Amino acid sequence: MREFHAIFIISCIAVLAPLLNRIPIFARAPIVAIELLLGMLVGPSGVGLVSADSALNFLRDFGLAYLFFQAGFEFNSNEIKGKPLRLGFYSWVVSLGLSIVISGLLYIVGLIESPLLVALILPTTAFGILIPILRQAGDLNDDFGHYVLGVAAISEIGPLVLASIVLARHSHHLHQMLLSAFFIAIALAINIFLRRVRSERLADSVVHWLDDDELLPIRISLVILLGFVSFADRLGMELVVGSYIAGMAVAILVRGTKAEILEERLAAIGSGFLIPLFFIESGAAFDVMKLFTNPESFVRFVAFTGAFLLIRLAPLNFFRGTLPERDMPALALLTSTTLPLVVALTYLGVGRGQLAPETATALVGAAMVTVTAFPTIALWLRGTERQSRLESAVSLVVHAVADWFSSQASSVPAKFSPQWRDELHGFEQRVRGLFSRSAE
């Protein structure tokens, strides 16, 4: 069957991507960026080894759902709260306002046909993608990482909720707003209930079941995922909303207990197969030639790429005095990183006739740039700054040592051999010269 051949190719790419990430030239690129590019290479726009069909499309949708499920249980409200979350909300509101203005201008000049949906897509951030990127860079648990994830969390939850209203079937926006409010109320009630039932006894049971290879907690977690997704779909909301809430529900039960090992098992399922499949298949399904054969599509692509970053620049003023000035470019680049929501919302927008396929292609293409280029540049900037700070620290130490030898040489009594003083001065010069060559 062709599906097994396609999945075999995708599995090979899933193995190849982390191996390429170990090569110095790809070391600063996120693995998801490599998966996307390799997917484009083997897709119809490349060598044509993988093509879209119903089976792969379903697996890609399930991978998308699992990506948000994993993002939900990796969201730690105990760490990302207070000021990072508050500034994240202010930042998203400002970005949304700028996005509405930009989308309105693009609508006036005739480049887009659904300004409200596009305005909602532009200020999205990929929380689930940023977590492995920040972990890879060593910034996941520091202040910089918390503020990045604070923006990302709001920029993901906000569009998730509003998307169900904007994409309401048959334009019943008020009806959908009430259904969305009902779903959120039910989700909050369930989360409060789960906080009350969590206990050490439950954690011990989860660990016992996992140690006995019964895998019952994993099966229950998947039932929770599919249950929330099904319930959200019944209420006219998008599957990613249910996936995200399901992930948060699982995290509430096990986080901070011995049962946290369950999160590792669930992450292994997603990161091992489903999530790479989503990114590789997304790359394979993307028709890059559409962007360059149609001048209007290319103009949209450039406009959207610039808009994704532009709307993140103005809110940086909220973070001045909180984060160092040198972190601002990396903050803007990382919070501009988006793809899963763009793919999901454009897919739904095209299916419901609210978005033209050409606009969807340009949005997804621009989002791919944010995933492949923006984090790579941000990690490079952060790495360069760290190297500069390291060299400054080394410089202080080396020059301090050299100055000490210089003072010792100057204090050598005249009765001692002049050759000894010359040796000390020579050693001092060699130490300074060694640092000068390493700095170059």
Report whether pLDDT(386) > 50. Answer: no
Are 313 and 122 spatial neighbours (Cβ–Cβ below 8 Å)?
A: no
Report whether pLDDT(438) > 70. Answer: no
Instruction: Tell me the fold of 54-372.
Output: Na+/H+ antiporter like fold (1.20.1530)
Q: Which residues pair with 323 in a beta bridge?
A: 320
Report whether pLDDT(397) > 70. Answer: no
Residue predicted with more confidence, 116 or 75: 116
Are 91 and 315 spatial neighbours (Cβ–Cβ below 8 Å)?
A: yes
Report whether pLDDT(209) > 90. Answer: no
- Hey, how many other C-beta atoms are within 10 angstroms of the C-beta on 92? 28
* Positive/negative CA dihedral, 147, 153, 159, 162: negative
Cα separation, 109 vs 172, in Å, equals: 28
Are 127 and 243 spatial neighbours (Cβ–Cβ below 8 Å)?
A: no
DSSP per position, 346-388: HHHHHHTTSS-HHHHHHHHHHHHHHHHTHHHHHHHHHHHHHHH
**Cα distances (angstroms) measured from residue 15 to each of 3, 10, 87, 268, 272:** 18, 9, 38, 14, 9
Give the range among 177-191, 214-228, 328-342, 409-423 with minimum mean pLDDT.
409-423
**pLDDT, position 44:** 81
**Cα distances (angstroms) measured from residue 407 to each of 400, 411, 420, 428:** 11, 6, 13, 10
pTM, two decimal places: 0.72
Report whether pLDDT(437) > 50. Answer: no
Residue 394: pLDDT band (50, 70, 90) is very low
Q: What is the pLDDT of residues 301-314, one digit of tens each?
A: 999 999 999 999 98
Residue 78: pLDDT band (50, 70, 90) is low
Phi, psi angles (nearest 5°) of residue 397: -65, -50
Report whether pLDDT(440) > 50. Answer: no
Q: Which among 328, 358, 382 has a CA at the least distance from the CA of 106?
A: 358
Residue 207: pLDDT band (50, 70, 90) is confident
**pLDDT, position 108:** 94
Cα separation, 27 vs 195, in Å, equals: 40
Q: At what angle do helices 127-137 and 54-74 cross, to 10 degrees?
A: 60
Average pLDDT of span 423-430: 56
The domain locations on the chain are 54-372, 391-439
Report whether pLDDT(398) > 50. Answer: no
| Whole-number average pLDDT of the chain | 79
Q: What is the pLDDT of residues 137-148, one digit of tens each?
A: 788 778 888 899
Cα separation, 361 vs 195, in Å, equals: 42
List of residues 6+ apart from 121 with CB closer than 8 A = 159, 341, 342, 345, 346, 363
Cα separation, 71 vs 66, in Å, equals: 8
Are 210 and 262 spatial neighbours (Cβ–Cβ below 8 Å)?
A: yes
DSSP per position, 304-325: HHHHHHHTTTGGGGGGBTTB-G
Report whether pLDDT(76) > 70. Answer: no
